[in-house]
Structure 1
């Protein structure tokens, strides 16, 4: 087996790109494709949909970043529409907490919010949300 141009190029098992150089039995175009493919296989075996998990993770990360950037004082009030304009997605959270008064604080990791009157949102930080 030699490391040269492959006479009959095959497609990468992961990304379907043509494999034109390398060993004749090569099945991935790059090391990154090999790792990505094997990670997908592992996740599918565990019953997880990798794209679904990645999408939710991106949404949660984005929500957390927005809340953290806006709430520099520990408590801040912003307009709900402002959060939406920044790309905040109110459908995803990591936890929630209901107070004795019945108010529901929604959290994205340690950053939280409470919808209050007149389309305003109170942003809060809850340090113990990240402690195990």
Structure 2
């Protein structure tokens, strides 16, 4: 019922779970991280400061409508990835303000939700 309330995903990103987890752990002191998928990568950067200007590109497969720039608390997203299984993770995004669905790309039955955070310049109050 909760998943039905989120709406269909407009974006799907598949990337290496351990690599994304390591990148998030390196940024756990940051107030947030921003994920920006491209044709065959997902860029991961710390929110604000010089870290956002120097993103880490990870190999990824992205299918989506328009651009996507979505923020997360790095610790919260890391915990969801730690609970997953398999080498790849699938992130399903309906929009930048709704919970994202985190699934094991190998075991679609493993599902968790992670709420994105507001990013500077997106019109929402930043926490």
TM category (shorter chain) comes to: under 0.3
**Which has the larger strand fraction?**
2
Which one has the largest radius of gyration? 1
TM-score, normalised with respect to structure 2? 0.26
TM-score, normalised with respect to structure 1? 0.25
